Amino acid sequence: MDSFILHGAVLFSEDVRELKEYDDAYVVCADGVCQGVYEEIPGEFSDLPVEDFWDKLIIPGLADLHTHAPQYTFRGLYGDMELLEWLDRVTFPEEMRYDDMDYAARAYDLFVEDLFTGATTRAAIFATKHTDATLLLMDMLEETGLVTLVGKVNMDRGVPHGYCETTGESVSETLRWLEEVRSRGYRNTSPILTPRFTPTCTDELMKQLGDLSGRYGLPVQSHLSENLDEISLVSRLCPDTRFYGESYDRFGLFGTQGKTIMAHCVWSGEEEIELMLKNGVYIAHCAQSNMRIRSGAAPVSLYLDKGMHVGLGSDTAGGAELSIFSAMRDAVLSSNLRWRLYDRDVRQISFPEAFYMATLGGGAFFGKTGTFKKGYEFDAVVLDDDNIQTLYPASPAERAERLMYLADDRHVVGKYVRGCKLY
């Protein structure tokens, strides 16, 4: 953790609706913690080294609240199926391959490299059921300096033979995984309990994972109310629940014991929404995945207006891109279509809201991060948009909005996580 000052154009979220922008300012980092943004360097920081990025754009690091590392191999393919068919025909067969450590090493290397070179500084990641390959992925992520939460996936039903675990195996492998993670002493990489979703987890497995979450205070990630056929399946599998979220909540896997991320929430009803609000569940909004595998368009502004925790997820390979800029763009576009086509009660989301979800909204899951306000952990990315040739004058917020449509990894020229410079 270092102390330094970055100079350039600066943009960050003050709150869900308000952006703060500066054409020319200094962002101060002391021992890994942001000390605020200033137009002139305050005397107390005058001894710190200044890194000058001139008119390049400096923003907080982006958070990816939901992605599947093993599915990255087939990104950009298979946008012609719905969730349950897509899992059976494409996803489970591919994830089974991570039993082979050589394959896992080569495939995860590509995922980790792309996560490193993009604008994401924090991510919550699904691995596969394989403990050893999951540990390998965690080793590789730790090397990058990114802050990540990684889950060995649990599933003891509804998965093809050869990829399914027994309940006992699932629990004992989870314990072995947690023990091994502890012994490796990672600084930036942590475990997150990952029951894949209710259709692949028996009540007994959920119960035992709930006990583990309570015993070790572990965070949880899973999927919720993504697809209509999936929701019908859950209501058949769990006839004693009133809504999908209860299938997690009754085992303490819905925000009451450890911080919890639920991906999608496209079709959540009133009771489910109220329970998420009450329990402080984080919603990972994955608009591209929801469009690609035909799940729908989540009512995101409704969640934001209720004051719920909402971040963005790339959800590769339901989504095709790891970029959280793309996730911002698709969040805006899908909210436009939802409003236009069938729901005038749920308004479109604005660019400041998309930027908030990508930074402070999702960042909050990892602690105090995602903005340049004083006291927040210092994550930043530096963006060079010189190659977007235009005569149109743009403010820092407009430059970021333009990058939401046009950015790729080439635009990311600097990255800092917890006050450490990665490049």
User: Based on the number of CB atoms within 10 Å of its own CB, is 161 exposed (0-12), middle (13-18) or buried (19 or more)?
Assistant: exposed
CA distance 10 to 22: 5
Q: How far is the CB of 312 from Zn ion (least distance, A)?
A: 13
Q: Which stretch binds Zn ion (CB under 5 A): 76-84, 260-268, 272-280, 354-362?
A: 260-268
Place of tokens 């009512």: 299
Toward Zn ion, which CB reaches closer, 292 or 411? Answer: 292
| Site map 335..364 versus Zn ion, x via CB under 5 A | ------------------------------
User: Which tokens sit at 14?
Assistant: 């003050």
Q: How far is the CB of 283 from Zn ion (least distance, A)?
A: 13
Q: How far is the CB of 387 from Zn ion (least distance, A)?
A: 33
Place of tokens 């236009």: 340
Residues touching Zn ion, count (CB under 5 A): 2
Q: Which stretch binds Zn ion (CB under 5 A): 105-113, 132-140, 255-263, 382-390?
A: 255-263
Q: How far is the CB of 310 from Zn ion (least distance, A)?
A: 16
Across 326-349, b (16+ Cβ under 10 Å) vs e yields bbbbbbbbbbeebbeeeeeebbbb
What value does the CA radius of gyration of the chain take, rounded to a whole number of Å?
21
| Site map 209..238 versus Zn ion, x via CB under 5 A | ------------------------------
Q: How far is the CB of 27 from Zn ion (least distance, A)?
A: 33
Toward Zn ion, which CB reaches closer, 97 or 368? Answer: 97
Q: Which stretch binds Zn ion (CB under 5 A): 12-20, 81-89, 299-307, 313-321?
A: 313-321
C-beta neighbour count of 258 within 10 angstroms: 19
Toward Zn ion, which CB reaches closer, 275 or 284? Answer: 284
Q: Cα 13–396–322 angle (5° rounding)?
A: 70
Q: Which stretch binds Zn ion (CB under 5 A): 4-12, 86-94, 235-243, 315-323?
A: 315-323
Q: How far is the CB of 103 from Zn ion (least distance, A)?
A: 21
Q: How far is the CB of 318 from Zn ion (least distance, A)?
A: 6
Binding site for Zn ion (CB under 5 A): 263, 315
